[in-house]
Homo-oligomer: A and B are copies of this chain.
Amino acid sequence: MHLEFRHLRTIKAIHEAGGLARAADLMNITQSALSHQVKGLEDQAGVELFVRRTKPLRLSAAGMRLLRLAEKVLPEIEALEDDFRNLQSGKAGRLHIAIECHACFEWLFPVLESFRKAWPDVDVDIRPGLAFDALPALKREEVDLVVSSDPEELDAVTFSPLFNYEPVFVASAQNPLAAKDFVVAEDFRDQMLITYPVDRARLDVFSQLLTPAKVEPRGVRQVELTAVILLLVASNRGVAVLPDWVVREVKYHSDYVTRPLTETGLTRTLYAATRDEDTTKPFMAHLLRLAKTIPVKLQRS
């Protein structure tokens, strides 16, 4: 059986117009074409779709069954076409975000909340589990935006700077290092370092400090949640290096102190990587704008 949407539209039109001839008008098609079409359909289905006893053609029981299908399916198609129109006009789209930096949830959520209100038809999602290979995934269109602090020269990909942050040293007030005004690489040698469970290359403390200085801490413990890291630090089970905004967000824990890394402190920049084609899209531009302003406001409050 070779049913097609055309047939569904035909059935619906004949039902609504109450006859073949009027339906043909409605569809800007010849009455003859409809007659042929109906005949072909009935042949293929092996079922009489219309009562031919009466002259203004009427649907039979089987025809009614088909009509019900049509009334269920045709609106679905219109919805799809609507969605596609939105996609074309840039009102809708997909915005799947990969974050390399593990702590970015903290400022990203407020940004996305604000974004969703403005662009309800954009499919927003955060894709965890591709901390590695996030940029290849971007090129493959598996994700549409990558948050990273390591920009690369990449074809067809733009890195937009979002905001600066400072990775800061966090330790218990009981920790001897709390006495120092700032800490340096060597200070980590006899410390237990608590980090997010990601590759060392993605951790500022290693990429910016320890690896260049060839310093290995006494031990490294990987912990998933920021709150738990701070808990462990506060009870002097180890030290950590976290972006300043993270520490500020949960400053009500007063059992730990923060110190700059190196005398001057480190400054890093967070970037959003997007495909060139997407970067100009209205909703993407809007998101980038939000991601530049909202985190800064959060830090001030």
> Which residues of A does B touch, CB under 8 Å?
1, 3-6, 45-47, 51, 53-54, 58, 60-62, 65-66, 69, 72-73, 76-77, 80-81, 83-84, 87-88, 93-94, 123, 139-141
The interface centre, meaning the residue of A45, A51, A66, A80 with most chain B CB atoms within 10 A of its CB, is A80
A interface secondary structure, majority: helix
A283 CA to B279 CA, complexed, in Å: 65
A94 CA to B123 CA, complexed, in Å: 45
A218 CA to B223 CA, complexed, in Å: 100
Hey, which chain B residues are within 8 Å of A83, CB to CB? Answer: 65
A53 CA to B139 CA, complexed, in Å: 8
Interface contact B45-A140, CB-CB below 8 Å: no
Task: Write 19 A-B pairs (CB below 8 A) sorted by A numbering.
Answer: A1-B84, A3-B5, A3-B77, A4-B4, A4-B6, A5-B5, A46-B84, A46-B88, A47-B84, A47-B87, A47-B88, A53-B139, A53-B140, A58-B140, A60-B141, A61-B141, A62-B84, A69-B80, A73-B76
Interface contact B123-A61, CB-CB below 8 Å: yes
Hey, which chain B residues are within 8 Å of A4, CB to CB? Answer: 4-6
Partner of A80, one of B6, B66, B77, B88: B66
In the complex formed, the residue of B with least CB distance to A144 is B61
**A126 to chain B: closest CB distance in Å?**
16
Hey, which chain B residues are within 8 Å of A80, CB to CB? Answer: 3, 65-66, 69
5 shortest A-B CB distances, which residue pairs?
A61-B94, A51-B141, A46-B88, A47-B84, A69-B80
Hey, which chain B residues are within 8 Å of A5, CB to CB? Answer: 3-5
**A84 to chain B: closest CB distance in Å?**
5
Interface contact A141-B53, CB-CB below 8 Å: yes
Interface contact A69-B65, CB-CB below 8 Å: no
In the complex formed, the residue of B with least CB distance to A2 is B5
